[in-house]
Amino acid sequence: MAIDCKFVPYLTPKQIVFPFPATEKVTKFKLSPACCFPFLISSYSSSLPLRPTVISAYKKNVVESNYYEDTFTLTYLEGNSWLWEVGGIKILVDPILVGNLDFGIPWLYDAAKKFVKNFQLDDLPLIHCLLITQSLDDHCHLNTLKPLSRKFPNLTVIATPNAKTLLDPLFTNVIYLEPGQDSAIEVSNGFQVKIKATAGPVLGPPWQRPENGYLVTSPKGALTLYYEPHCVYDKSTLEKHRADIVITPVIKQLLPNFTLVSGQEDAVQLAKCLFARFVVPMKNGDLDSKGLLASIVKSEGTMESFKQLLSKELPDAKVVEPTPGEPLDISIPVHGQ
C-alpha cells in the first residue's frame, strides 16, 4: 500500500524533510495535489558535456530563507550507459563508448546505439567515479574501459567483485562492493556522495555471487537514486531502504524460456518497494542489433502499459522519460544546514 504524503513527512537516510509551500512553481511536471512536496523536473537540449542551467522554482524571498535545491543530473547514453552528476561529482555508469556491443562474438550479437552514435570518450567531461554493475560486456565493456583507464589513470572505480579479473589490470583505485556494503566519494565541501551496493541478478549457477545494483545518496542526504539495469532485485533487502529516483528498465526482454531483462509489473513493485517519487525508465533493449541472438529476443510490454500499472499501485509517482544524450535534472528543495 502506498503511503499518502499528506500524512507523513518524507524520510531520508539522515533527516526528515517536511513539506513547505512554494510561492511560485515553474516546473515542467507537477506532482498530484495530494502530494505537497514541491519537486522540480526539467530536461534540456544542451549538448554534452555541458551542464544544463538549473531552473529555480522559488522567488528570491524563499531562496533567502536558506533553502537550496538538491539535484541529480542524469544523462542517458543508451543501452546500460549513463552519466550522472550529484554534488559536483560526475559518475560514469556501465559505459559503452568505443565500438559496438558484441560480447566478442559479433555473429551471435552485434548492437549499435541509435541516437548518441557520435558521443565518444573524448567528449566526456572530467569523471570522478566509474560505476560498474555487472561483469559481462554490456556493463563492463573492455573496448571502452581500456582507453578510459588511459584517459583517467587515477579514476576511482566502484564495482561488483565479479568484475575483478577484468578491472584489476586496468585501474589502480578499485573498490569492490558486495551487496550490503557501501563506500563514499568525497565532495570538495567536506560532504560525501554515498554509494551502497544491493543484490542484482545471478549470472550463473545459484551459488554464484549476485551482480550489483546501487543506491546513490546526495551529499546532504536529501535525494537517493536507485539503479539496477535488469530490474532484478532482492525485495526483502530493498524494502529497508527508500529511493526518490528509481532508474529501471520497464519493457521486458525475453529469450525462449528465459528472461534477459525484466520490467512491467516487476518495475512497478520495485518502485513501490522503494516509495519512489520518480521513475526514470531506460530502454536498454532499444538498439540497432543483428545476429542470431538478436533475432530471437522478444519484447514484452510497452511504456504506456507500464504507466498504467504504476498509476494503480503508486499514483503519486511520476514517470520521467529521458532523451538520450540530453541532461535531465531532478531536484528537490532542502532547508540549508
Domains of the chain: 59-335 (3.60.15.10)
Cα separation, 331 vs 54, in Å, equals: 9
Helix (H) or strand (E) holding 331: strand 328-335
Can you give the pLDDT at residue 220?
84
Distance CA 194, CA 119 (A): 28
Q: For position 206, what pLDDT does the model report?
A: 84
Angle at Cα 175 formed by Cα 169 and Cα 179, nearest 5°?
A: 120
Q: Can you give the pLDDT at residue 47?
A: 43
Q: Which residue has the cell 503519486?
A: 316
Which among 316, 320, 313 is positioned nearest to 35, based on CA atoms? Answer: 316
Residues 104 and 136: beta-carbon distance below 8 Å: no
pTM summary value: 0.81
Alpha carbon separation from 2 to 5, 196, 223, 226, 273 (Å, rounded): 9, 24, 19, 18, 9
* pLDDT at residue 65, rounded to an integer: 59
C-alpha cell of residue 296: 530471437
Per-position pLDDT tens, the chain of length 337: 333 333 333 333 333 232 333 333 323 333 333 333 333 444 433 345 444 533 233 333 444 457 778 899 999 999 999 999 999 999 999 999 999 888 888 989 899 999 999 999 999 999 999 999 999 999 999 999 999 999 999 999 999 999 999 999 999 999 999 999 999 999 877 889 999 999 999 987 888 899 999 999 999 889 999 999 999 999 999 999 999 999 999 999 999 988 999 999 999 999 999 999 999 999 988 888 898 888 899 999 999 999 999 999 999 999 999 999 999 999 988 776 5
Cα 224 to Cα 88, 274, 330, distances in angstroms? 15, 10, 11
Q: Which of 41, 114, 126, 118 is nearest to 85 (CA)?
A: 126
Cα(83)–Cα(91) distance, rounded to whole angstroms?
6
CA distances to 207, 243, 264, 315 from 309, in Å: 33, 19, 8, 9
Read off the C-alpha cell for 97: 563508448
